[in-house]
Structure 1
Amino acid sequence: MSTEDGPDAELLARVFLGRVLEPGDEVGGRWVREFGAVEVARRLREDGPRPAGVSDKRWAGLRARAVRAAPERDLDLARSAGVRFVRPGDTEWPAQLDDLGDARPTGLWVRGRPSLRIWALRSVAVVGARACTEYGAHMAATLAAGLAERGWVVVSGGAYGVDGAAHRGALGAGGATVAVLACGVDRPYPRGHTGLITRIAQQGLVVGELPPGEHPTPSRFVVRNRVIAALTRGTVVVEAAYRSGSLVTARAARRLGRHTMGVPGPATSVLSAGVHELLRDGAGLVGDAAEVIELVGDMGELAPDRRGPVLPRDLLEPDARQVLAALPGRGAATAAEVARGARTTPDDAIARLYELRSLGYVERQGDGWKLTRQAMISVQAGRSEC
């Protein structure tokens, strides 16, 4: 990040551009790609030759910001707050962010000890509604805890609702979590999450594109979501209305070739309408951490097969289960009637009935046979599964 004599020119240029260009500015990103960060910074600082196609108004606005930019001061402020600047080419830079093309961040401010690059290699985004329901908060926390327990890093935006529940779920499980903010990482937002974001910085990572002291705006929240999508292997949306910002993250993930997943909710819930739309568009339906990992993990990391509880009748041999099923739910039946219902011989039916009596499933009633109370419950449970 620096030379022996202090920060190098390319580092200072990228910190400078982080003050001048808005996050996600693809035009500015193209300039950096074509001319290099140092040259773009020089032109803005010295009012040098402007790139082709730039209007007077846009150039004047960028120049006004350039006059106030002080990269050395930003680095000093960051250093005093325990924050570092990570840029493309650094060993800590997550290479998957390069998939953003000209919308790639000029650099990231990182607060926390772990390596962002290493953590991002095995990470999943869990996002959703700010005004989530109890169900949404429960699912987000449970998913995040399950992912953390399995060694996955949970990435979210630090906001109220689903984001906060996901971070808390990961922390509560003793796992790793990353908060990607739409403001300076030295300025926790929302303020009600100051304690949570401070805890994340102590146990995980707090990341952002904006320099120290910068405040969030609605547009910055939207463009921040592309970083969450690019940083992770996949994005899970827990709850989202049709216009939710978390859908922006999911769509960005899809464009980048990442996995997109949704947790279904009630069909009547407005907060699940956006998730259901994602599912109709081909997102993976997930209900727990194992199903998420089956999609984003390595080959062989499969979720367990889902099945109902094992009932006592499941342990019977097929022929005995067939005879048991042939008995009426109420009243008694003769051995001949049972044989016809079970499509077997009377002798075989009688043998199976005595076997079932020894196990407590049937009892004699005169010349007939009837289910015991235990068997009635078992048979009814089996029929309800059909």
Structure 2
Amino acid sequence: MTLFGLEESVILGLARSVHPAGDESAEDEAAEAAEAEPGAAAGAGPESAESAAGAGGADAAADLFARAAWTGIAEPGDGVVGLLVASLGASAALTAVLETWTPERLAATMREGGVVAEELEGELEQGLQRWRPRLSSADVIRSLQQAARVSARLLVPSDPLWPASLDDLGQHAPLALWWRGVPAAFHALPRAIALVGARAATGYGEHVAMDASAGLVDRGFAIVSGAAYGIDGMAHRAALASDGITLAFLAGGVDRHYPSGHDALISRIAEVGAVVSELPCGAAPTKWRFLQRNRLIAAAGAATVVVEAGWRSGSLNTAGHAAALGRPLGAVPGPVTSPTSAGCHRLIREFDAVCVTTAAEMDELAGEGPWALDRTLAEGAAGDDPRTSEEIRVLDALSPRSPRPVPEIARRAGMSTSAVLGALGALDLDGVVSERETGWVYASRPGSAGGSS
């Protein structure tokens, strides 16, 4: 096996340096396969079992290496490479680009795999123009070696620690994540809230962020933010001071602490939480990467709260991603004379954000929608739920923030429109859902009549 002109032994060594459990997992899978087919294993002998483990380890290493390479070749959020890798696999997709496949050949292969997209050839042609100038084995090796030096690890979608919530980003989901920290941080993500806000925060905003972060930690939440000055930094510090778990998503490599004034803070987060990026070590933060980083913050948490933000604050970008994903969105009000709260007031007035002022209200916000249902089921209370299977399927297809029309709900639920209408009628009577001009959503207060408090 060769990739990027590198021999298999080199690829295996580099993969192990950032994903040491990868080969062990492959060997375990091979051993399980041998146990499942004892006759074949007996006939093949121990050498075959070893070669099977080696083949699995080589394939896993090639996938890891290719995903590591793609994090440097494609910019974050590149939906075309997301489609390509989902269709061909990371290693095969990289090989195809290296072998200078034409856009027509790539498109034909992807369509054979079931990809349906208009103007696919044109998008691939533009993508190849973006990716090919970055094809450098030296850059990939350098980033992997740097990752090993700073004890950074590579997380891929097949890993148990992979945040499943990021898959909601679809073709724009990260192909891999670089991280430093403790595994417990990823286990805490299903119950996490993103706290974001202005870099030029006021004393009022920082005070609210501190109280909110500490209060949420006391309620068992992890805190997600972006390690920036102002609200982000205060949210992280308060979580750490409360012995909570916090995760920082960076817009550059995890070895480049940005802003530099937060070097000590980011180092502390890496000791007890996690510092995460979809960019390889050595990558510099840019404006575009900050904007793309924001989608990860929004997707990672069960809810997003904007604590303080100006009219054109970058935090509104994070809020936009949260709304697009159907995540509950909250905003903290401020003085009507404060420019640094104008963005929060705008979210409440124009974008249907929920006005929240305390950690208890933020907890309630995160409790809306499918996340609350998931926790109820996990606690074994589903037996008390009188809902029919059709009502449950409709609830699963709804969003707490983005109205969805009946045909879309039917498509998501796999039901007929008449069945969906019947279920919605029953749920509406119970006050669980509400109808808006453009479709149906969860009621703002599940269980209350018509969604009103």
| TM-score class, shorter | 0.7 to 0.9
Establish whether residue 43 from structure 1 lines up as the match of residue 96 from structure 2.
yes
State the shift of 1:43 in Å: 1.9
Q: Which of 15, 20, 23 does residue 3 from structure 1 map onto?
A: 23
d(CA) in 2 for partners of 1:94 and 1:61?
28
d(CA) in 2 for partners of 1:293 and 1:60?
46
d(CA) in 2 for partners of 1:264 and 1:57?
43
Q: State the Cα deviation string for residues 342-378 of structure 1 (Å, max 9, x = none).
A: xxxxxxxxxxxxxxxxxxxxxxxxxxxxxxxxxxxxx
Q: Which of 46, 50, 75 does residue 22 from structure 1 map onto?
A: 75
Q: State the Cα deviation string for residues 29-62 of structure 1 (Å, max 9, x = none).
A: 1111222211211122232333422576652441
The one-letter code of the counterpart of 2:87 is: E
Q: State the Cα deviation string for residues 48-101 of structure 1 (Å, max 9, x = none).
A: 333422576652441120135544443332122111111112111011111001
The one-letter code of the counterpart of 1:117 is: F
The one-letter code of the counterpart of 1:49 is: T
Q: State the Cα deviation string for residues 292-311 of structure 1 (Å, max 9, x = none).
A: 11121347x9xxxxxxxxxx
Establish whether residue 202 from structure 1 lines up as the match of residue 263 from structure 2.
no
**Residue aligning to 1:334:** none
SS in 1 for 2:312: coil
d(CA) in 1 for partners of 2:243 and 2:157?
30
Q: Which of 133, 142, 146 does residue 211 from structure 2 map onto?
A: 142
Greater CA deviation, 73-82 or 88-97?
73-82
- 39 and 116 in structure 1: CA distance in 2 versus 1, 3 angstrom threshold: farther
Contact 1:181 1:206 in 2 (8 A): yes
d(CA) in 1 for partners of 2:341 and 2:330?
13
SS in 2 for 1:213: coil
Q: Which of 312, 315, 336 does residue 246 from structure 1 map onto?
A: 315
Greater CA deviation, 238-247 or 27-36?
27-36
- 13 and 55 in structure 1: CA distance in 2 versus 1, 3 angstrom threshold: closer
**Residue aligning to 2:245:** 176
**Residue aligning to 2:158:** 89
- 161 and 13 in structure 1: CA distance in 2 versus 1, 3 angstrom threshold: same
Map of 1:328-347 to 2, 5 A cutoff? none
d(CA) in 1 for partners of 2:138 and 2:146?
13
Q: Could you tell me the percent identity over the aligned residues?
A: 47
The one-letter code of the counterpart of 1:38 is: S
**Residue aligning to 2:364:** 294
SS in 1 for 2:135: helix
SS in 1 for 2:136: helix
Q: Which of 257, 261, 264 does residue 192 from structure 1 map onto?
A: 261
Contact 1:16 1:69 in 2 (8 A): no
SS in 1 for 2:201: coil
**Residue aligning to 1:233:** 302
Q: State the Cα deviation string for residues 181-207 of structure 1 (Å, max 9, x = none).
A: 000011100001001100111121100
Establish whether residue 283 from structure 1 lines up as the match of residue 353 from structure 2.
yes
d(CA) in 2 for partners of 1:276 and 1:54?
38
d(CA) in 2 for partners of 1:248 and 1:61?
24
**Residue aligning to 1:127:** 196
Q: Which has the higher helix share?
A: 2
Contact 1:130 1:163 in 2 (8 A): yes
SS in 1 for 2:276: strand
Establish whether residue 259 from structure 1 lines up as the match of residue 328 from structure 2.
yes
Aligned residues: 300
Contact 1:181 1:207 in 2 (8 A): yes
- 58 and 291 in structure 1: CA distance in 2 versus 1, 3 angstrom threshold: closer
TM-score if structure 2 supplies the norm length? 0.63
> What RMSD in Å do the two structures reach over aligned CA positions?
1.9
d(CA) in 2 for partners of 1:234 and 1:109?
23
d(CA) in 1 for partners of 2:306 and 2:126?
39
**Residue aligning to 2:420:** none
Q: Which blocks of at least 5 consecutive residues in structure 2 are unaligned?
A: 1-18, 25-56, 107-120, 376-453
State the shift of 1:271 in Å: 1.0
**Residue aligning to 2:286:** 217
Greater CA deviation, 248-257 or 75-84?
75-84
SS in 2 for 1:53: helix
SS in 2 for 1:90: coil
Contact 1:93 1:116 in 2 (8 A): no
d(CA) in 1 for partners of 2:251 and 2:129?
25
d(CA) in 1 for partners of 2:126 and 2:164?
34
Mark the structure with the bigger radius of gyration.
1
SS in 2 for 1:121: helix
The one-letter code of the counterpart of 1:276 is: H
Map of 1:345-356 to 2, 5 A cutoff? none
d(CA) in 2 for partners of 1:294 and 1:48?
52
**Residue aligning to 2:226:** 157
**Residue aligning to 1:63:** 132
d(CA) in 2 for partners of 1:64 and 1:79?
25
